[in-house]
């Protein structure tokens, strides 16, 4: 292949990888592989004197998505030239005084303040055009919305999500497709939300690293003074040390020792000349400013042996290759697995079982394969899905080969239904997290709901899994055993029937005297007559129970369950025909859900909105001027406190 053809191939590969990483929050090659291909392209461009118009060496950042308004930056936001060699960094610094700071791994944002108030926030975008995220920036955890300086201030900072928040948030995300591989991806998705309530819940922090302009201020030609002034304005600024070439080693030692203790993501360091005039006099290249230089940590690598390739199916049908190798210590933890992402990467590494490989942690977090030392070659690619045993086929898109399960009934494609089934309001199986479910489904241990109750068939395999052991296994089995005794509303909700939520499930059970057979055989007409059901929900229920495959799976599941049937006493349905709305805090119940359950237990209904059909609004602050209180007064609906509600039901009994 000649140089030009190779350059075109590299440009396509790198742009595809960059688009996947920045726009789609997915990874199709490791950071190390990207850097290697990028350096190869850069070398070829220097050798040939040719730079292709769409080369990533002259393009910066991700392309702007359509969902957010766009805005052109007043001055281009360039990336930094970088090295992994301390001596190259020392050469850049020379005798000049520099600020050496963390290179934050998040999403760069430009903030503009006018008259002391935050006016605008724009993402870096492609370096020339960014996305306007002002509403989201207003809910960043630590951003000052008002500052003492009344002129027009423009600064740049990195929006980040801390590791501690990342781990907590990822655990709370029920949908596996919505989970993020690293804090950078989570931050990118959070900052670019259309709904800033989501951004606020993610605890995004903004760390300022550069002052662009502040007319009227004298900083004595010093970047250090700029950083001190930003602190005085209320901004959190990036940690930095003042260095020269002579003091660089001590500073590097400090940062290298701190990296593993940090609660924020960083993929290196940045050196910036303190002398503003000197730095700006150096100008810039097409891609890089010349007043700053980035240093990327040389990743710790360990040699090990590839034991097997494990194939992990997902709900999209994609079957991801995972390398399982002899455990090694990396960055202070033991690792034995690394995602290889797709078959194209496997082929480029020529991965074969028994090969000697070098592994590392990308950004000190995600295990990756750096190199295959023996390259025995890819062989024995699976032709079936491990979750369902159905056919698996290789598909190619944009030059990337991936393995897909083509079975539309593959259980891996229904992870959401399994997650719902074990959730708190359904069977409530403690310890059955979505990550655990993914493992069990991926290994083919769970293909339908009933399989959850016969997981003991795989005890040896489960005990030997990462994150498991005898104790974890036994705790899970105890939870499953406890979940066998359940109620009909929990079961109906857990089946995941379209449009049937917790409240509808309870309503159905009451209407049919907690008789599952009657519910299964009910017609659309019968169901539609129930207040609050309607034809759409009725159609969903009938469609579910008349589906032969679903019916057969339910029959198999029922063999493992003991469904408790409540004693129905009609004299206790004292709230029959009444509709309640609950607002504000509660004092005599644990939470509003418990109060809602009490209302339903006594035959009433609890809804979320005040309408003409509402019987009572329950609000302990009966005199408040809240929207619901005002609406109730307009409609002549009584507003009662909890105590009045409790008195009402005591008298009725």
Q: Which residues participate in catalysis according to the annotation? A: 103
Classify residue 499 as left (phi > 0), alpha (psi -120 to 50) or beta.
Answer: left
Report the distance separating Cα 60 and Cα 53, nearest Å: 12
H/E stretch holding 635:
helix 627-635
Take residue 473 and report the two structure tokens written for it: 């296994």
Helix (H, G, I), strand (E, B) or coil at 411: helix
Residues in CB range of 590: below 8 A, 6 or more apart: none
Residue whose C-alpha is closest to residue 451's, from 317, 316, 559, 320: 559
- Number of Cβ within a 10 Å radius of residue 283: 9
Contact by Cβ (8 Å): 418, 446: yes
Q: Rounded to the nearest 10 degrees, what angle do helices 248-258 and 86-93 cross at?
A: 130
Q: Which residues pair with 630 in a beta bridge?
A: none
Owner of token pair 């991801």: 320
Report DSSP state, residue 455: G
Report the distance separating Cα 586 and Cα 600, nearest Å: 17
Cβ burial of 525 (10 Å; 0-12, 13-18, 19+) is exposed
Report DSSP state, residue 609: S
Contact by Cβ (8 Å): 212, 154: yes
Give the pairing of strands 240-243 and 98-104. Answer: antiparallel
Give the pairing of strands 117-123 and 129-131. Answer: unpaired
Report the distance separating Cα 183 and Cα 406, nearest Å: 32
Contact by Cβ (8 Å): 618, 585: no
Contact by Cβ (8 Å): 126, 180: no
Residue whose C-alpha is closest to residue 125's, from 139, 138, 110, 103: 110
């Amino acid at each position: 292949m000649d140089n030009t053809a190779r350059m075109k191939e590299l440009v396509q590969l790198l742009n595809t990888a960059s688009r996947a990483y920045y726009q789609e929050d997915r990874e199709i090659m490791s950071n190390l592989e990207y850097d290697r291909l990028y350096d190869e392209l850069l070398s070829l461009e220097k050798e040939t004197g040719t730079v292709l118009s769409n080369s990533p060496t002259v393009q910066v950042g991700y392309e702007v998505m359509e969902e957010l308004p766009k805005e052109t930056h007043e001055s281009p936001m360039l990336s930094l030239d970088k090295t992994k060699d301390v001596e190259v960094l020392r050469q850049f610094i020379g005798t000049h005084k520099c600020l050496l700071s963390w290179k934050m791994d998040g999403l760069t944002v430009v903030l503009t303040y006018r008259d002391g108030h935050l006016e605008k926030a724009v993402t870096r975008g492609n370096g020339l055009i960014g996305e306007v995220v002002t509403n989201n920036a207003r809910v960043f955890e630590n951003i000052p919305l008002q500052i003492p300086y009344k002129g027009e201030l423009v600064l740049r900072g990195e929006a980040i999500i801390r590791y501690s928040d990342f781990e907590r948030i990822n655990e709370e995300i029920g949908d596996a497709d919505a989970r993020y591989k690293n804090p950078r991806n989570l931050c990118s998705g959070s900052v670019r939300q259309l709904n800033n309530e989501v951004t606020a819940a993610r605890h995004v922090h903004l760390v300022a690293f550069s002052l662009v302009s502040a007319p009227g201020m004298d900083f004595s030609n010093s970047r250090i003074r700029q950083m001190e002034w930003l602190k005085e304005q209320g901004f959190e600024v990036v940690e930095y040390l003042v260095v020269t070439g002579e003091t660089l080693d001590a500073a590097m030692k400090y940062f290298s020792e701190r990296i593993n203790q940090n609660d924020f993501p960083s993929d290196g360091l940045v050196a910036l000349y303190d002398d503003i005039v000197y730095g700006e006099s150096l100008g810039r290249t097409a891609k890089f400013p010349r007043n700053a230089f980035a240093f990327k940590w040389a990743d710790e690598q360990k040699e090990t042996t590839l034991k097997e390739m494990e194939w992990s199916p997902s709900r999209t049908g994609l079957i991801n290759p995972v390398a399982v190798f002899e455990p090694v210590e990396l960055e202070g933890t033991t690792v034995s697995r690394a995602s290889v992402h797709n078959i194209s990467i496997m082929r480029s590494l020529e991965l074969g079982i028994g090969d000697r490989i070098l592994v590392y942690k990308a950004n000190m977090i995600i295990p990756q394969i750096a190199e295959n030392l023996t390259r025995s070659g890819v062989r024995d690619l699976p032709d079936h899905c491990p979750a369902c045993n159905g056919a698996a086929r290789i598909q190619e898109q944009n030059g990337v080969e991936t393995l897909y399960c083509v079975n539309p009934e593959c259980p891996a494609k229904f992870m959401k239904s399994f997650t719902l089934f074990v959730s708190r309001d359904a069977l409530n199986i403690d310890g059955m997290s979505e990550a655990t479910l993914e493992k069990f489904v991926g290994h083919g241990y769970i293909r339908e709901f009933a399989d959850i109750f016969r997981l003991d068939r795989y005890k040896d395999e489960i005990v030997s899994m990462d994150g498991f052991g005898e104790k974890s296994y036994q705790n899970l089995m105890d939870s499953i055993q406890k979940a066998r005794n359940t109620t009909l509303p929990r079961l109906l909700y857990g089946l995941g029937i379209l449009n049937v939520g917790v409240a509808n499930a309870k309503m159905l059970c009451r209407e049919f005297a907690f008789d599952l057979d009657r519910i299964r055989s009910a017609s659309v007409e019968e169901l539609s007559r129930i207040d609050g059901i309607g034809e759409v929900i009725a159609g969903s229920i009938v469609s579910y129970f008349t589906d032969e495959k679903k019916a057969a799976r339910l029959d198999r599941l029922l063999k493992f369950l003991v469904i408790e049937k409540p004693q129905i006493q009609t004299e206790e349905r004292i709230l029959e025909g009444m509709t309640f709305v609950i607002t504000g805090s509660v004092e005599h119940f644990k939470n509003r859900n418990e109060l809602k359950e009490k209302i339903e237990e006594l035959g009433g209904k609890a809804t979320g909105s005040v309408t003409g059909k509402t019987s009572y609004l329950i609000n302990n602050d009966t005199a408040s001027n809240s929207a619901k209180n005002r609406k109730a007064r307009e409609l002549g609906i009584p507003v009662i406190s909890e105590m009045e509600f409790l008195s009402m039901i005591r008298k009725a009994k």
